[in-house]
Amino acid sequence: MLAAVAPLPPELIGTEAAAGRTLAETLLASRAQPPFRSSAMDGYGVRAADLALGRFTVLGEALAGKGYALGPLGAAGAIRIFTGAPVPDGVDLVVPQERARREGETVWLDAPSPRRTNIRAAGVDFKAGDLLVRRGTRLHARHVALIAAAGVGAVSVTRQPRVAVLATGTEIVPPGTRAAPGQIFDSVSFGLGAMIEDWGGKPMRIGARPDDTVAIAAAIEPALEAVDLVVIIGGASVGAYDVVKPSLERLGLTITVQRIAIRPGKPTWFGTIGGKPVLGLAGNPAAAMVCAQLFLRPLLQALLARESDASASGAARLDGEVADSGANECYLRALVRTDAEARSWARPFDDQDTSLVSVFAAANALIRRPAGARAAASGTLVEVVWLDRP
């Protein structure tokens, strides 16, 4: 599947709009931060060698954004200085104002204890040429603050993938409408749309279509030029109602993955139409959303040229028992908790029916069981794939 996609082109956006986007080029600092020595607190700047004198003459003041500009500090001289202000030449100690007693232009200072300079060195945050953020990083608030601190007003980010999402099924109706007997509400396309947004894409949800080859082809054809990836839900069963693939064959579909050896979601398939990637997911909600985690998310990461998230999976002890996995790799919806000893425990839900949206909503992880894995008892260490860490 990944061989069929390539990173999307970059675009330039303002730093204020960068949160959630993927950086398209590595950023290096163009200057030091701070670019000058600065005071770490309000107080008086003096020469440390003069501290034993105890009594000083206040020669001026230095404020953030407005330094003392009357030359180097002389003997027994002091500068009233405020947090963030540039430290004048000659000053190598800032005595906190709490340790000062001032009368007019005379100030008596006590040595700070323990003795600290209370001066931040130039470049203490970062220096010119330092790495700020690597290409492929999804930008969070902390990254945006760092980029702004470096004076960068606009950044190059990968264009957000546009993803068409189509649910199929004659029984599907939109939420908010009246459902006839035998009909159910479309939940999966809404869930997938939210997942796509969480993962950095822009979903384009197409209204559900009945199990009809003409209707499905007509819905997909106009979207092909406008999107970077197509996701189709349902219509991939065996038999007369396997309608999606025949529908898309009208548009030139080439299948590269017929099905996958996992549970749930074995009917998942993948192909291309004129080079445009198309991912087909099973119609049952849990199967579709599990396979979205396993296949749609990596496809979006590839389109974004985003670094993979090493924290997306981990390990936990099994809280309960699981049967052998059989011939297919298995993913069990589970709830992971942390005990008083900071150990993680993963409890699989008793009912793993793939039609249950409520179980998927209650889960925060999937327990991965390799194909051929034997039954496991409580306390066994298992791999978990997190659901709530975009």
Q: Which CATH class is domain 162-304?
A: alpha beta
Does the pLDDT of residue 389 top 70, yes or no?
Answer: no
DSSP-derived pairing of the beta strands 43-46 and 93-96: antiparallel
Question: What's the CATH code, domain 312-386?
Answer: 2.40.340.10
Tokens standing for 390? 């975009």
Predicted local confidence at residue 353, as pLDDT: 94
- For the chain, percent of residues with pLDDT exceeding 70: 96
Q: Which CATH architecture has domain 10-33+125-158?
A: Alpha-Beta Complex (3.90)
Lowest mean per-residue pLDDT among 66-75, 126-135, 338-347: 66-75
Q: How many CB atoms lie within 10 A of CB 212?
A: 14
Specify the DSSP class assigned to residue 4.
G
- Is the pTM higher than 0.85? The answer reads yes
Predicted local confidence at residue 390, as pLDDT: 45
- pLDDT tens column, 190-223: 999 999 999 999 999 998 999 889 999 999 999 9
pLDDT-based confidence at 235, cuts 50/70/90?
Answer: confident
Superfamily of structural domain 45-120 = Molybdopterin biosynthesis moea protein, domain 3. (2.170.190.11)
Domain boundaries, the chain: 10-33+125-158, 45-120, 162-304, 312-386
Mean pLDDT of 361-366: 96
Mean pLDDT of 244-265: 94
Rounded to the nearest 10°, the torsion over CA 338, 341, 344, 348 is -70
Predicted local confidence at residue 252, as pLDDT: 95
- pLDDT tens column, 2-59: 999 999 999 999 999 999 999 999 999 999 999 999 999 999 999 999 988 999 999 9
pLDDT-based confidence at 239, cuts 50/70/90?
Answer: low
**Does residue 298 sit in helix, strand or coil?**
helix
Does the pLDDT of residue 72 top 90, yes or no?
Answer: no
- pLDDT tens column, 89-146: 999 999 999 999 999 999 999 877 667 899 999 999 999 999 999 999 999 999 999 9
Predicted local confidence at residue 236, as pLDDT: 66
- pLDDT tens column, 257-268: 999 999 999 999
Tokens standing for 35? 């670019």
With CA atoms as reference, report the closest residue to 22 among 181, 159, 169.
159
**Does residue 189 sit in helix, strand or coil?**
helix
Predicted local confidence at residue 388, as pLDDT: 75
Would you call 372 exposed, middle or buried from its count of C-beta atoms within 10 A (0-12, 13-18, 19+)? exposed
- CA distance linking residue 348 with residue 361, whole number of Å: 13
- CA distance linking residue 334 with residue 362, whole number of Å: 8
Predicted local confidence at residue 316, as pLDDT: 96
Contact 171, 187 (CB under 8 A): no
Rg of the chain's alpha carbons, rounded to an integer?
Answer: 31
Mean residue pLDDT across the chain: 93
The H or E element containing residue 234 is: none
